[in-house]
Amino acid sequence: MSFLSRMEPNSLNHTAGPIITSLLRVGVIGDPVAHSRSPRFQQAAFDALHIAARYELWQTSADELAARVASLLKPDCLGANVTIPHKEAVLPLLDIVDPLASRIGAVNTIVHGDGYLYGYNTDAPGLLRVLAENGVGEPGNTNESDPWKRIVSLKRYTAVLLGAGGGARGAAFALAGAGVERLIIVNRTLERAQRLAADIQQDRDCQVFCLSDPDYLIPHPRSIIINATPIGMYRAGDNEQATKDAAPLPARILERFNADTFVLDMVYNPTQTRLLIQARILGLRAVNGLPMLLHQGALSFTLWTGQPAPLDSMRAALQ
């Protein structure tokens, strides 16, 4: 069974599904997590399906990660989402990691089933669903044997991926799987971008640059620019104005891209980042991280409960 099939309702390889006798718990593990919108829309999903569960914020430092993950084995716990910066560190703490998440090297969803902890990556298919929803690429073909191409085909597209951490790793594998012609990885730490490029190991044009040298970026037609760094993300205690002014790419670089360029900023707090504002001023199509959050969260919900996610209720709660 393919990894994406396992994310389809009622076809899970672990025994998931709510035992509605007492209040169940699920939450998001990260540092920081205060900004997370996951409680809002995941709670709406549980409520819409009358599942007695509470979605919580689990602020967790790197030192606390192992104990937090072990606590997911409590009988009332369905599992967790994992966010910045633990998506990679969490892998060795799990019993079984889905082959896709294992190849990506990042887990954003943990499921507690049969006394074991299972790890999945729903960021990757969630990102492709957003591209498909926005008319980027060719619509997925349900007869495709390749599960990525059932969501969307990105033949002849160039992806410029800013970042090489957990979110970026999922994006890189998804983009490569959907057939992107060229993948350009731009990261603050060049070696991490090089490692990701080597891990993709598919027969495609893959370039790496340092985020401090954006002048090397040559724009191509049909480009997709994805920000998978936290630049522009507001965290409690940050200088609000400095966050608003921060963008991962200078405007003079963005200006070089054609009008058919699509920009996706994985950041959703604030909903209007500097990158998105600059892109829209230039007439480029641009979306924030909320639709991706919705789709990765919907897939996580199905993994925890075995139920189709009530997308409309979840989307309404995110507004």
Which C-beta is closer to ligand NAP: that of 113 or that of 227? 227
Which C-beta is closer to ligand NAP: that of 111 or that of 174? 174
Q: Please, which residues bridge with residue 53 across strands? A: 24
d(CA 228, CA 170): 10
Residue 102 CA, distance from chain mean position: 15
d(CA 150, CA 137): 12
By rule CB under 6 A, what string of x and - marks binding of each residue 56-95 to ligand NAP? ---------------------------xxx-x--------
β-pairing verdict for 262-265 and 223-227: parallel
Query: Residues 66, 68, 72, CA angle at the centre, nearest 5°?
Result: 115
Q: How far is the CB of 156 from ligand NAP (least distance, A)?
A: 26
- For residue 264, state whether it binds ligand NAP (rule: CB under 6 A): no
Which C-beta is closer to ligand NAP: that of 187 or that of 278? 187
- For residue 310, state whether it binds ligand NAP (rule: CB under 6 A): no
Which C-beta is closer to ligand NAP: that of 113 or that of 318? 318
d(CA 103, CA 167): 14
- For residue 292, state whether it binds ligand NAP (rule: CB under 6 A): yes
- For residue 270, state whether it binds ligand NAP (rule: CB under 6 A): no
- For residue 137, state whether it binds ligand NAP (rule: CB under 6 A): no
DSSP-assigned letters across all residues of 203-264: SSEEEEEETT-GGGPPP-SSEEEEE-S-TT---TTS-HHHHHH--SS-HHHHTTS-TT-EEE
One-letter amino acid of 197: A
- For residue 211, state whether it binds ligand NAP (rule: CB under 6 A): yes
Site residues (CB under 6 A) for ligand NAP, limited to 11-50: none
One-letter amino acid of 63: D
244 is catalytic: no
Yes or no: say if 79 and 302 are a contact pair by the CB < 8 Å rule: no
Active-site residue identified among 74, 87, 149, 244: 87
Chain residues binding ligand NAP by CB under 6 A are 83-85, 87, 123, 163-168, 187-189, 192, 211, 228-231, 233, 266-268, 289, 292-293, 296
Q: Which residues are catalytic?
A: 87
